[in-house]
């Protein structure tokens, strides 16, 4: 347990350092928000790496659940309370359960081999680094408005505001999405039937 605590402390310090360096934040003005973000970000990256690096699909799925839960916590820190709860209910509580179901039904053991051959791995590394270069661009030229006002309109991120937008401006998208869900249900039932009679 002491080893675990030590690892966690090291992770905290490293991630805080990363946030200070990458974010260009004055060390004197670090506060609880930055610390929480640093912790969440580092744990999220670690569990995302766990998704793609684990040999066993069940462990990948559980790493993804951890990532989704940490994302929900990040949403709460961004004042998006309803979206955070929906993330837990829909993503972590339903979609990932579906994934786990399928893995259990197909009784998938460890993947051998887990990854593609070296040529594909090299190409993936190139693609990944191209994208990260684009991200580094944001470090070099941070977007204006980083000192956005911390004061929010009252009721921001509450269900009333979300519902007001959904049922007035986005009503068409809402109805089309419900038809999409119906199509998905029918499609999944038809595809999973043993034989069509």
What minimum distance in Å lies between the beta carbon of 187 and other proteins? 5
Burial 31-54 (b: 16+ CB within 10 A, else e): eeebeebbbbbbbbeebbebbeeb
Site for other proteins contains 41 (CB under 8 A): yes
From first CA to last CA, the distance across the chain in angstroms is: 58
Q: For 23-69, list the strands marked E by DSSP.
A: none
Site for other proteins contains 104 (CB under 8 A): yes
Site for other proteins contains 102 (CB under 8 A): yes
Site for other proteins contains 36 (CB under 8 A): yes
What minimum distance in Å lies between the beta carbon of 10 and other proteins? 20
Contacts 24+ apart (CB under 8 A), 71-76: 71/44, 73/40, 74/37, 74/40, 74/44
Site for other proteins contains 43 (CB under 8 A): no
Site for other proteins contains 173 (CB under 8 A): yes
Site for other proteins in 62-101 (CB under 8 A): 62, 64-65, 67-68, 71, 74-75, 77-83, 85-95, 97-101
Site for other proteins contains 1 (CB under 8 A): no
Candidates 149, 150, 135, 130; CA nearest to 22 is 135
Candidates 111, 114, 113, 92; CA nearest to 103 is 111
Site for other proteins contains 13 (CB under 8 A): no
Candidates 67, 72, 35, 40; CA nearest to 54 is 67
Residue from the set 6, 52, 171, 175 that interacts with other proteins by CB under 8 A: 52
Contacts 24+ apart (CB under 8 A), 180-187: none
The mark string for 120-159 relative to other proteins (x by CB under 8 A, - otherwise) is xx-xxx-xx--xx-xx--xx--xx-xx-xxx-xx--xxxx
What minimum distance in Å lies between the beta carbon of 7 and other proteins? 16
In this complex, which beta carbon is closest to other proteins, that of residue 11 or of residue 103? 103
The site that binds other proteins (CB under 8 A) totals a number of residues, namely 111
């Amino acid at each position: 347990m002491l080893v675990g605590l030590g690892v966690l402390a090291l992770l905290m310090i490293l991630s805080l350092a990363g946030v200070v360096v990458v974010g260009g934040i004055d060390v004197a003005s670090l506060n609880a928000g930055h610390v929480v973000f640093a912790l969440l970000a580092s744990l999220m990256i670690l569990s995302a790496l766990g998704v793609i690096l684990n040999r066993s699909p069940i462990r990948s799925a559980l790493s993804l659940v951890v990532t989704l839960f940490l994302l929900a916590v990040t949403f709460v820190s961004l004042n998006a309370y309803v979206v955070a709860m929906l993330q837990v209910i829909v993503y972590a509580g339903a979609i990932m359960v579906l994934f786990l179901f399928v893995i259990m039904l197909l009784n998938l053991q460890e993947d051998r081999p887990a990854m593609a051959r070296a040529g594909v791995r090299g190409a993936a590394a190139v693609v990944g680094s191209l994208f990260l270069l684009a991200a580094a661009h944001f470090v070099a030229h941070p977007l204006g408005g980083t000192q956005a006002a911390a004061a929010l309109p009252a009721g921001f991120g509450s269900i009333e505001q979300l519902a007001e937008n959904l049922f007035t401006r986005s009503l068409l998208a809402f109805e089309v999405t419900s038809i999409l869900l119906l199509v998905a249900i029918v499609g999944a039932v038809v595809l999973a039937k043993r034989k069509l009679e």
